[in-house]
Amino acid sequence: MIGCPEAPARPARRLLVAVAVVAAVVIADQLTKWWAVTRLSRGPIHLIGTLDFELTRNTGASFSLFQGQASVLIPVAVILVGVLLVMAWRAPTYGRAAILGLILGGALGNLADRLFRDDHGAVVDFVALHFWPTFNVADASIVVGCILLLVSLVRRPRPS
């Protein structure tokens, strides 16, 4: 049965789960970046404590590594997307497929910025904690997805 925990996850359905998560992440990421560029170009918004919305553009990778290296980061991201799609197809559970969808959605959200925004390969970041590098929804999805992936790899997976 499809809903039973004992039923093995079929590759096409695992990929469908991953793609649904990817779509949700990319839509949320691009909508929040659109809002950030539109609203935060007039100035930052202080929310609470050290949490602010503050518009920045990152030409590097995570934690601002490899600044100005879009010509390297774009092909690496494209390869990563391919690897993640294969991993989602082969995921042992729907949960693992969803986790891979988080990472893949984040990678595609930031890749879309590099390819389609007129910011010379920069990614729009706007969540500023001031004790952590400024980030966006795509970055958060990648980090949360990687943590969940590590947890899922340590735990023995139950077929879904």
Exposed, middle or buried: residue 76 (CB in 10 Å: 0-12, 13-18, 19+)?
middle
* Residue 125 bears catalytic tag: yes
CA distance 91 to 11: 8
Q: How many residues does the chain have?
A: 160
Asked if 29 and 138 count as a contact pair (C-beta separation under 8 A), the reply is yes
Of the listed 29, 52, 118, 125, which one is catalytic?
125
Of the listed 52, 118, 119, 139, which one is catalytic?
139
Just list the catalytic residues. 125, 139
